[in-house]
Every structure is written in structure tokens, then in C-alpha cells.
Amino acid sequence: MARSTFALTALTFGLTAVVAGCANYRTTRAEATYPPVGDFVEVTGGRVHYVQNGTGPHLILLHGAGGNLREFTFDLMDRLTDRYTVTAFDRPGMGYTDRVPGVQKGATATEGDGPLEQAAMLREAATTIGITDPIVAGHSFGGIVAYAWAVNGLDRDADVNAAALVSISGVTMPWPGDLGAYYRVNGSAFGGAVAVPLISALVPESLVQDRIEATFAPQPAPEGYAEHIGARLTLRPESFRANIRQVNTLRPKVVALSQRYPELTLPVEIIHGTADTTVPIDIHAEEVLKILPSANLTRLDGIGHMPHHTNPDAVIAAIDRAAARSGQR
């Protein structure tokens, strides 16, 4: 029995080492294939990765869950730099930005970087690089961070306070039920220590592509998007854990944030597809209209979760309306 126990232990350690080796190899390969494309700014407790280009009023772009700033350098950013100084940030824990200082980061931790804390970290970065009176636009999870940016400004007078807000398929309001077994398991201590390294090491490229197509549905992903976005950056174990924990712990933070929405008076432009099943319009965009008088909603019939790629002209029009309403243009 002792020999059997020893053999099983040795096998377990061997498999663990193989999985860790595969995950480390994929991490190294992802970072070599998709290196930082912008600059870094030091903030309290870490650094923030960003890309900035263009001239005109400041526009900030915040990406969604599982993404990075390449979400915007694929196409949208170049459409805006003729009339805005556009800054796209990697959100905390994603891409090449460090996690929020003080949040637990170990393999068995379950804490997530909340939207208010993410916004505070990015506001510090924006202040340091000279951004003033920005229009803050967020997609999906970036939407709730954009709202947090604006709520953060309710309690302090600062040059970096948002002049206007644009929500692109943004998370805004609390949702019914939970997020299912994927987030529940992977967001647990067991998931962080065991499941995340396995997924990072073993998930095939075909599954990554399938998830991208599912996110765009019912529209197809544009040609070249998968090759540009660097999805493998999110599958690095540390980024994977950060993303899962942020989403898994988000709902109570949205509940608290949404209680302050009626205090917001800045212009808010919302653009949301009626066929979005990732962040459903009836739960988020249509509900926030009931408590936020300054919000204007543009519904895109039959459009899914990625209108900044499938309907960029409509998204740009929403940004331009926000700029005009705030006196930025």
C-alpha cells in the first residue's frame, strides 16, 4: 500500500509538472506573439499599459471581460483619432496592466478587482499622462468600469472626471440568478489552483475560435480579428484567474454602484444590440434608462455583443453625440 501511495503521489506531481510546463510554454509564446504595443505608466502599486494616439478632446476606451486594448487597436481606434485624443487602457489584471493593489492574487484566492477599484487605478494613470475631461467609453465589462469612473467623480472634483459616458453593450445593472458552473468552479479556490492551469495548458485553438464566434453571434467575427486580439494573453493563468474572479464577484458590486446612478448628471450615450445574449439589453440598457435621466439609448436591431466591430459607424455616432452633449465638440 505504501508503494502504491508513493506511486500515486509521484504520478500526481508528474502530471502537475507537465501541466505547469505546458501553461508556462503557452504563456511565453503568447507574450512573444502579442507583446505590449503601447507605453506604461507607474501608478500606486503597479503599472498600467496603454496606447494613445490622435488629437482633440480626450476619449478613453475600456475593453470587456477576457480582452485587452487590442480590442480597439484592431479597427475602432483608427476611425477616431482624426478628432479625438484616444487612449485605450488594458484594464487591471488584463493584457499587461497589473492587478489592483491589495487584491489577493494567489492561486487559491477568490477576490476580484472591483469596478470602482479598477476605475480608481485607471484614473490615476489618466491623471499622470495628462488626460482631462475625458469621454469614457466602455464595452461589456468595460461599461461598468466606465460607470464606476463617473461615480468615482461624484465624490471628488478632479480634472480626470468624466465629461460624458458611452456604454457599448455595457454591463450596467444587476442580473437575475448566477453565472453558471463555469464561473462558479473556475472562480473557486479549487478552480484557481487546478482547473485554471489545466485550461490554460490544454484548451485547443479551435475552442478559442469557437468562443470568439459565439461572442460575435449572430454576426460573424471580422477577418483577421482572432489573429489580432491575442486571446492567448487572457489564457495565461494569472490573467485567466483575474478575469474569472472579476466576473464571478461582480454582481454585488453592480448592485452597490447602481444605487448611485440617479446622482449622475453627465451625458450618457448607450448603444446596445437587441440580439445581445452576453449582456442582454432588457436587463441592462433598458433598465438603467428607468433610473438615469441623462441616458439616451440607441437600439441596434438584430445586432449582437460586438457593435464596435459590426456597426462601427453607429458606435462612433454615439461617441460624437456624447462629445457634443458635453460641449467637447
Are β-strands 85-89 and 39-43 bridged in parallel, bridged antiparallel, or unpaired?
unpaired
Instruction: Give the chain's end-to-end CA distance (angstroms, integer).
Output: 77
- Kindly tell me the sign of the dihedral angle through the C-alpha atoms of 323, 54, 239, 209: positive
Could you tell me which residues come within 8 angstroms of residue 168 by beta carbon, excluding any fewer than 6 positions away?
A: 137, 138, 139, 140, 142, 143, 271, 272, 307, 308, 315, 318
Domains of the chain: 33-325 (3.40.50.1820)
pLDDT by residue, tens only, the chain of 329 residues: 555 544 433 333 344 544 556 767 778 988 999 999 999 999 998 999 999 999 999 999 999 999 999 999 999 999 999 999 999 999 999 999 999 999 988 999 999 999 999 999 999 999 999 999 999 999 999 999 999 999 999 998 999 999 999 999 999 999 998 899 999 999 999 999 999 999 988 988 899 999 999 999 999 999 999 999 999 999 999 999 999 999 999 999 999 999 999 999 999 999 999 999 999 999 999 999 999 999 999 999 999 999 999 999 999 999 999 999 999 88
Q: Which residues pair with 315 in a beta bridge?
A: none
For the chain, give the mean pLDDT.
92
Residue 26: its pLDDT value, please?
77
How many C-beta atoms surround the C-beta of residue 287 within 10 A?
17
Residue 49: its pLDDT value, please?
98
Q: What is 124-167 written as a DSSP string?
A: HHHHHTT--S-EEEEETHHHHHHHHHHHHGGG---TTS-SEEEE
The answer to whether the pTM exceeds 0.75 is yes
Residue 19: its pLDDT value, please?
56
How many C-beta atoms surround the C-beta of residue 141 within 10 A?
25
Q: Are 256 and 223 in contact (CB under 8 A)?
A: no
